[in-house]
Amino acid sequence: MQRPIYLDCHATTPVDPLVMAAMLPYFTEHFGNAASSGHLYGWEADAAVQQARETLACAIGAAPEEIVFTSGATEANNLAIKGVAEAYLNKGRHIITVATEHSAVLDPCRYLQTLGFDVTVLPVQTDGLLALATLERSLRPETILVSVMAANNEIGVLQPLAAIGALCHERQVLFHTDAAQAIGKIPLDVEAMNIDLMSLTAHKVYGPKGVGALYVRRRNPRVQLAPQLHGGGHERGLRSGTLYVPQIVGFAKAVALAIAAMPQETERVAKLRDRLWQPLSQLNGIGLNGHPTKRLAGNLNISVAGVDGQALLLGLQPVVAVSSGSACSSKSIAPSHVLEALGHDNALASASMRFGIGRFNTEQEIDRVAECAIATIQSLRQVARV
């Protein structure tokens, strides 16, 4: 049976063959524990980890010692948010985030509310962008952290990181960004953008699942974190646990490949996205979700009026693998909280599709998906009228 065309690259991406080739020796020949400092096997593993740390640091304008490896962006977000909350108790208990954040940010914030922290969840404009004036009005003397994602996982919107970071540093408030969807797709520079904490993951950029990292600023200011995992003191005491060397090697390789190809790949994928959107936009009742230009090149999120969302997803399934929202919460039938934050009602938020176009997609695939989507929408609307 022919497999569907994969257009769900915001959920995950296939591992690039070059990434797999880089990882394989560290499962077999170079299998040592990076913490084993008394023999060659440990030295080889540690050298590979340090090289990966340098690669990731270079990709975001950081220093290697500022990279802390984690199991993924969810753990990195938890370490950043809960780690700051615990470490800065004496300064304040106020945290600011945004309504369109991933649940890996919103849920830790909700948890902190049960411990007595005050969390302000800011609205966004109808295009998904955070208004800087709204953020500025929300800052208080007791604010210790602002968390705003770099690129939205559903609608692809790119927030103004540099402006947010400048505002936070002016008020001496720490700035965290979830950059899981952004690494390797847009330029990131923690110094130029005044970012204090940045969460990363490998599997959104053609690397393996199960590995991520947290950038933790060490100068101007030096960020303090309370570790959330204890037992061994790995990663300078910030994240205990034996390092997963093959995945770390793969993570660095994936990011290096993405950075090297970023200008050309951004242009290519944006053309594919526009090729898909052009015929879809000719239908009545089709709306683009998120800012039309300040978005990831491979993201197309649309709402389809007059159809049932689940029926639309089922109709597309034989031809194309897409998502109706965040893959991390796709088992829930609740409408997307991101689209609700844009002002959509339940019906329109439920009847939405997220197309995530990636490295291995072709023009022929895009044309086939457009043809299928148009036929499915027209068919469902005809049935609804009967």
CA distance 36 to 126: 53
Asked whether residue 316 falls in the same domain as residue 218, the answer is no
350 pLDDT above the threshold of 70: yes
DSSP helix, strand, coil percent of the chain (3-state; round to 5)? 40, 15, 45
330 pLDDT above the threshold of 50: no
Task: Say which CATH number the domain at 312 has.
Answer: 3.90.1150.10
Q: In this predicted structure, what is the pLDDT of residue 181? A: 98
Q: Go through the chain and tell me how many residues it has.
A: 386
Identity of residue 302: I
| β-strands 212-216, 67-70 pairing | antiparallel
DSSP string, 327-378: GGGTT--SPPHHHHHTT--HHHHHSEEEEE--TT--HHHHHHHHHHHHHHHH
Q: In this predicted structure, what is the pLDDT of residue 80? A: 98
- The helices-and-strands tally (H runs, E runs) of the chain is 11, 12
Asked whether residue 62 falls in the same domain as residue 138, the answer is yes
Class of residue 174 by CB neighbours under 10 A (exposed 0-12, middle 13-18, buried 19+): buried
Q: Over pLDDT 90: what percentage of the chain? A: 89
Asked whether residue 188 falls in the same domain as residue 245, the answer is yes
Q: 256, 278, 296 — which closes off a domain? A: 256
How many CB atoms within 10 Å of residue 24? 14
Q: In this predicted structure, what is the pLDDT of residue 373? A: 96
Class of residue 61 by CB neighbours under 10 A (exposed 0-12, middle 13-18, buried 19+): middle
Nearest to 25 by CA among 43, 55, 54, 48: 48
Asked whether residue 94 falls in the same domain as residue 183, the answer is yes
Task: Say which CATH number the domain at 220 has.
Answer: 3.40.640.10
Asked whether residue 244 falls in the same domain as residue 274, the answer is no
Q: Return the H-helix or E-strand segment holding 78.
A: helix 73-87
Domain hosting residue 173, numbered range: 17-256
341 pLDDT above the threshold of 80: yes
Q: Over pLDDT 70: what percentage of the chain? A: 97
Verify whether residue 168 is a known catalytic residue.
no
325 pLDDT above the threshold of 80: no
User: Hey, which bits of 76-171 come out as E strands?
Assistant: 94-98, 118-122, 143-147
Phi-psi category of residue 49: left, alpha or beta, with phi > 0 → left and psi -120 to 50 → alpha: alpha
Mean pLDDT calculated for residue range 23-49: 96
Q: 256, 290, 321 — which closes off a domain? A: 256
Q: 210, 233, 256 — which closes off a domain? A: 256
pLDDT tens column, 108-161: 999 999 999 999 999 999 999 999 999 999 999 999 999 999 999 999 999 999
Asked whether residue 291 falls in the same domain as residue 362, the answer is yes
Asked whether residue 248 falls in the same domain as residue 325, the answer is no
5: phi then psi, degrees, rounded to nearest 5: -70, 130
Average pLDDT, the chain: 95
Q: Which single residue is written with the structure tokens 């690039």?
A: 16
Asked whether residue 106 falls in the same domain as residue 166, the answer is yes
Mean pLDDT calculated for residue range 65-74: 98
333 pLDDT above the threshold of 70: no
Q: How many domains does the chain have?
A: 2
Sign of the CA dihedral with 228 first, then 231, 237, and 239 last: negative
Of the candidates 109, 168, 328, 372, the residue annotated as catalytic is 328
CA distance 147 to 371: 40
Q: Which single residue is written with the structure tokens 């440990």?
A: 42
pLDDT tens column, 214-273: 999 999 999 999 999 999 889 888 999 999 999 999 999 999 999 999 999 999 999 999
386 pLDDT above the threshold of 90: no
